[in-house]
Amino acid sequence: MSSVTGRVEVAGVEVSPDHFIGGERVASQSRFEDVSPIDAGVIAEVSRGGEREADQAVQAANEAFPGWAALGPAGRAGYIHRLADLIDENVERLAAVENADMAMLLRSLRARVISRGAKNFRSYADLATAYEERDWHSLGTWNRVQRMPAGPAAVITPWNAPFMLSTWKTAPALAAGCTVVLKPAEWSPLSCSILAELAAEAGFPPGVFNVLQGYGEEVGASLVSHPLLKRVSFTGSPEAGRQIGVAAARNLVPFTAEMGGKGPLIVFEDADLDAAARKAAGQYDDSGQVCLAGTRLIVQESVADEFLEKFHRYLDEQVLGDPREDSTTISPLIHPEHLQRVEGFVERARAEGHRIVRGGRRSEAGPLFYEPTLIEPTSNDAEIVQSEVFGPVLTFQTFSEEEEAVALANSTEYGLSGVLYTTSLGRADRVGRQVRAGIVWVNTFLVRDLTAPFGGMDISGIGREGGDYALDFYSELKTLQILEGSVG
Ligand code: NAD
């Protein structure tokens, strides 16, 4: 391991493929290949960290913690706002690297996704500063709830929205006074490397914001089992979430997890069918690699044909292509292994006799494209209905009565999100309450108020992020109780 490292050029931007620990670049001798989904070519040889790097990063975060905590919310907010400003100034660089690394549409990255990162930081810095400690008198005592920074926190993020999710998760940790060790996913590690440098440029003291690169089962596993950590926050699959939760439990460390989804998109006969069909068909844009997507279309029988006709029409307008082009609306899948995984789901569905209504094969648009696919299952128990594909594959089912729609919606192990289309307020409230999910959108999708709780039920999550819910997680809530009249 050396501390002097090279940089690589990705999409015209210089970026370091190494760790960022204690304010310095640290390289591992062992490397892994980072593949761009745009052409399946290797764009960087990234440091492949292990136990030693994980320990080094947590030690650095632990040393930096007392100073960062002592700044208080307002002191930290100055640094965090500077970081947010730097993100806004670097939208083009960040968007270019994220696009090359993950293939999210360049125009979406430029227009909103990167700047959402800046919003995440501003929003949490302001919220932490505005926190009012609760005071009250009872039982002859004066009581106050204090929010104390918890300590060094591990933050683990997935590959599908690397920059946005890393900012969404590290912002509350930093604002609450925790120091952070961020481990981005191995399939899209580069935008977080730039984020670390922007944090340094914003003046963050060394060790407050660290980034580790490498595989989940290697550096990730060493990180989350480190005894000096005080919090572990994870976004990714339920499979990895279980393992990380066990590691956190061994050290009795609080743990939150945002995990997979298999959301229903329910269309009632009273709905604006055009809007519903447009949203449903628009869900293929990141090749369906969106945890919150309503991947199970559940449509009332009386309007099923009309809905499908509109759905196909909107899907016909979609363009699979180079995610750097403005005309492209659907990007490629992240990695050859993931393409095979998606293909495996569809092939098994075909073999089981479910009807492939549309797509169901690789596309010639590029090496990692799969055609937008719609499958009508013969049974609700089918794997294609019950398991998250995380690709451009939706299922189509019908119902006659409201209760049937709710039963179908709640029939999987997941509970992350749901989407309803109806013009009835009564139905929106009634069905919205019954759908087991951390968020239910009615006649809209993906609108996010950053102060609202965010998370999943069942295998989709443990705990809540968003607003004060996240700030509480990264804090120790302490009660100070003073005998009245005993101090002056
Ligand atoms: P993943 O679980 O394979 O990996 C996520 C992260 O965890 C990666 O950084 C990985 O390196 C790390 N990791 C894996 N095993 C680990 C271990 N044993 N110890 C420590 N770290 C480990 O998930 P993925 O394939 O990167 O992402 C796709 C999944 O993420 C999907 O299930 C998707 O629904 C989910 N997701 C959920 C949300 C949400 O907000 N609920 C958001 C985005 C993605």
Distances (CA, A) of 138 to 143, 479, 488: 7, 13, 18
Query: Which phi and psi angles does 450 have, rounded to 5°?
Result: -70, -10
One-letter amino acid of 62: N
The DSSP symbol for 377 reads: -
Distances (CA, A) of 366 to 316, 361, 370, 466: 18, 13, 9, 37
One-letter amino acid of 251: N
Rounded to 10°, the helix 91-102/162-176 angle is 120
Distance in angstroms (rounded) separating the CA atoms of residues 56 and 52: 6
Q: What is the pLDDT of residue 110?
A: 97
Please tell me if the CB atom of residue 124 comes closer than 6 angstroms to any atom of ligand 1. Answer: no
For residue 254, report the distance from its CA to the centre of ligand 1, in Å. Answer: 18
Exposure string over 25-59, b if 16+ CB within 10 A, otherwise e: bbbbeebbebbbbbeeeebbebbbbbeebbebbbb
Distances (CA, A) of 254 to 70, 204, 246: 22, 25, 11
Specify the residue with its C-alpha closest to ligand 1, atom 9.
185
Secondary structure class of 234 (helix, strand, coil): strand
For residue 454, report the distance from its CA to the centre of ligand 1, in Å. Answer: 17
Q: Annotated catalytic, 258?
A: yes
Q: Annotated catalytic, 291?
A: yes
For the CA of 455, the closest atom of ligand 1 is 41
> What is the sign of the dihedral through the CA atoms of 115, 117, 123 and 129?
negative
Specify the residue with its C-alpha closest to ligand 1, atom 39.
258
For residue 272, report the distance from its CA to the centre of ligand 1, in Å. Answer: 35
The DSSP symbol for 379 reads: -
End-to-end CA distance of the chain: 57
> Are the C-beta atoms of residues 324 and 38 closer than 8 Å to each other?
yes
One-letter amino acid of 437: A
Q: Provide the Cα torsion 237, 243, 244, 246; round to 10°.
A: 140
208: its two tokens: 């407050």
By the 10 Å C-beta count (0-12 exposed, 13-18 middle, 19+ buried), 380 is classed as middle
Q: Does domain 263-442 correspond to CATH entry 3.40.309.10?
A: yes
The H or E element spanning position 479 is: strand 475-483
If we measure between CA atoms, which residue out of 329, 65, 73 comes closest to residue 176?
73
Length of the chain: 488
Ligand 1 pocket test: which of 159, 182, 237, 255 has the largest number of ligand atoms within 8 Å of its C-beta?
Answer: 237
For the CA of 244, the closest atom of ligand 1 is 19
If we measure between CA atoms, which residue out of 391, 403, 405, 318 comes closest to residue 360?
391
Per-residue pLDDT of the chain (488 residues), as tens digits, is: 334 468 999 999 999 999 999 999 999 999 999 999 999 999 999 999 999 999 999 999 999 999 999 999 999 999 999 999 999 999 999 999 999 999 999 999 999 999 999 999 999 999 999 999 999 999 999 999 999 999 999 999 999 999 999 999 999 999 999 999 999 999 999 999 999 999 999 999 999 999 999 999 999 999 999 999 999 999 999 999 999 999 999 999 999 999 999 999 999 999 999 999 999 999 999 999 999 999 999 999 999 999 999 999 999 999 999 999 999 999 999 999 999 999 999 999 999 999 999 999 999 999 999 999 999 999 999 999 999 999 999 999 999 999 999 999 999 999 999 999 999 999 999 999 999 999 999 999 999 999 999 999 999 999 999 999 999 999 999 999 999 999 98
207: its two tokens: 């060790």
The H or E element spanning position 245 is: helix 238-250
pTM of the full structure: 0.96
The superfamily CATH assigns to domain 2-259+460-479 is Aldehyde Dehydrogenase; Chain A, domain 1 (3.40.605.10)
Which of these is catalytic: 186, 218, 258, 465? Answer: 258
In the chain, % helix, strand, coil (3-state, to 5) comes to 40, 20, 35
Please tell me if the CB atom of residue 221 comes closer than 6 angstroms to any atom of ligand 1. Answer: yes
Among left, alpha and beta (phi > 0; psi -120 to 50; other), residue 239 is alpha
297: its two tokens: 């279309």
Intervals of CATH 3.40.605.10 along the chain:
2-259+460-479
Intervals of CATH 3.40.309.10 along the chain:
263-442
Please tell me if the CB atom of residue 245 comes closer than 6 angstroms to any atom of ligand 1. Answer: no
Please tell me if the CB atom of residue 217 comes closer than 6 angstroms to any atom of ligand 1. Answer: yes
Query: Which phi and psi angles does 93 have, rounded to 5°?
Result: -65, -45
Which of these is catalytic: 98, 192, 218, 291? Answer: 291
Distance in angstroms (rounded) separating the CA atoms of residues 421 and 265: 8
Residues ≥6 apart with Cβ < 8 Å to 331: 37, 103, 104, 105, 285, 286, 287, 323
For the CA of 243, the closest atom of ligand 1 is 18
